[in-house]
């Protein structure tokens, strides 16, 4: 799975570095001064790297906990995100990471404890329990066998009843969740699309059937779960495609365990869309009829509203409106 591991000099001896390296005994190890020399350089091809990404083990300094975009919330007032990992195992054609990063290599920041320290500091300044989202720049669970992030982070969140965590994923790597008792301050959220859309756009990700089955297991084990229908993708037969899909999902996930459902339509910042169109000049989603606004490229308003309204009706019919959190245009989707 990983053929090349770059290791920042500063984390060479870190126990997590040692553990990752031990997991890939045949991988080539290359020591570097700073991850930026590999991750941020120019003239990289995201598309070539995606064929066989390298793993970079690094130390995260600077801002580790950042305010989440304005409408990213699922009921809380204070929302933050943090990224122990940059980039994703999957290759979803709509994912903004392709437009945001120059490199498809994975960066794993091994200093988890510094993230926890910063979350604790952030939380101490708040009056109400804050929400901390981990799956913004990566998939929270997909690389769990390598990162051990969920197991470690849940141990910490178990001691922080005033801080809520969202793990967002398309993965079926749920062992670390099933191996322990469910935590009341954690939501395991799964990004889902109808099967024909997932097959066309969510390359390398588990099938929707498998994702729903895994999420049902997690819910049945006592965890609160989230459903993320974001991005909603337009096709001329979207009503029938999404009708079947919503029925499939809501019939399998126990209603009482659904913490929240969010929706959002396909949208990208213009510069990300331009970069992604160059990466995939023959992609039908990126080449299709999109409205180019000042801040966002997305579906023309009539299509966007039709999709969002259709989804809203179905979601509200299934779970009511209290647990429904539509995302508008302030966030991006991976």
Partner 1 sequence: MSVFVIALDAEARPLIDALKLKRLIDRPWPYYSNGDDHLLLTGIGQLNAAAACGWLIGHSPELARTPWLNVGIAGHAELAVGTLCWVERIKYKHGDLYPALHIRSSLPGSLLNTVDAPSNKYVDGQLTDMEGAAFYLICSRFVPIELLHLLKVVSDNRADDIKNINKAMVTELIKDNCTEILRFALNLSQLSLALPEAIPADLDQCVETYTQKWRFSHSQKQQLMKLLQRYHALTHSMFFEPELSVPARDAKQVLALLDKKIEHLPVTMP
State the residues that interact with partner 1 by CB under 8 A.
3-4, 6, 28, 30, 32-33, 37-38, 41-45, 47-54, 196-197, 199-201, 233-237, 241, 278-284, 287-289, 300
**Residue 207 burial (CB count, 10 A):** 13
Q: Which two tokens stand for residue 3?
A: 């053929």
- Reference 81, options 133, 123, 120; nearest CA is 133
Q: Which is nearer to partner 1, 103 or 140 (CB)?
A: 103
Task: Quote the least distance from Cβ 273 to partner 1, whole Å.
Answer: 12
* Alpha-carbon separation of residue 199 from 91, 158, 207 (angstroms): 11, 36, 8
* Distance in Å, CB of 301 to partner 1, minimum: 13
Helix, strand, coil shares of the chain, percent, nearest 5, are 35, 20, 40
Q: How far is the CB of 234 from partner 1 (least distance, A)?
A: 6
* Closest listed residue to residue 191, CA positions, set 98, 262, 93: 262
| Minimum distance of partner 1 from residue 243's CB (angstroms) | 15
Minimum CB distance to partner 1 smaller for 52 or for 179: 52
- 105 secondary structure, DSSP code: S
CA distances from 287 to 92, 279, 291 (A): 15, 12, 11
User: Would you say 166 or 202 has its CB closer to partner 1?
Assistant: 202
Least Å from the CB of residue 193 to partner 1: 10
Distance CA(104)–CA(98), nearest Å, equals: 8
Of the two residues 4 and 248, which places its CB atom closer to partner 1 in the complex? 4
Please identify, using beta-carbon distances, which residue of 9 and 181 lies nearer to partner 1: 9
């Amino acid at each position: 799975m990983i053929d090349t591991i770059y290791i920042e000099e500063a984390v060479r001896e870190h126990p997590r570095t040692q553990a990752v390296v031990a997991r890939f005994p045949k991988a080539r190890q290359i020591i570097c001064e700073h991850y930026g020399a590999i991750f941020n350089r120019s003239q990289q091809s995201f598309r070539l790297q995606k064929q066989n990404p390298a793993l970079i083990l690094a130390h995260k300094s600077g801002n580790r906990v950042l305010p989440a975009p304005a409408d990213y919330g699922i009921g809380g007032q204070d929302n933050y995100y943090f990224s122990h990992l940059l980039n994703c195992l999957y290759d979803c054609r709509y994912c903004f990471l392709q437009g945001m990063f120059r490199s498809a290599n994975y960066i794993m920041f091994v200093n988890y404890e510094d993230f926890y320290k910063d979350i604790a500091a952030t939380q101490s300044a708040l009056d109400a329990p804050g929400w901390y989202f981990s799956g913004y720049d990566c998939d929270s669970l997909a690389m769990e066998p390598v990162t051990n992030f969920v197991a470690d982070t849940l141990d910490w969140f178990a001691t922080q009843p005033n801080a809520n965590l969202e793990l967002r994923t398309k993965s079926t790597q749920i062992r670390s969740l099933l191996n322990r008792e469910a935590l009341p301050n954690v939501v395991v959220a799964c990004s889902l699309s109808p099967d024909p859309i997932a097959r066309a756009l969510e390359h390398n990700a588990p099938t929707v059937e498998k994702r729903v089955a895994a999420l049902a297991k997690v819910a049945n084990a006592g965890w609160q779960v989230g459903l993320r229908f974001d991005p909603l993708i337009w096709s001329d037969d979207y009503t029938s495609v999404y009708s079947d899909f919503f029925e499939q999902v809501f019939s399998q996930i126990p209603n009482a365990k659904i913490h929240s459902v969010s929706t959002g339509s396909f949208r990208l910042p213009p510069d990300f869309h331009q970069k992604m169109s160059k990466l995939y000049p023959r992609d039908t989603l990126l080449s299709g009829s999109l409205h180019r606004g000042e801040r966002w490229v997305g579906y023309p308003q009539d299509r966007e509203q039709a999709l969002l309204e259709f989804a809203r009706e179905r979601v509200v019919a299934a779970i009511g409106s209290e647990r429904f959190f539509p995302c508008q245009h302030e966030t991006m989707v991976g």
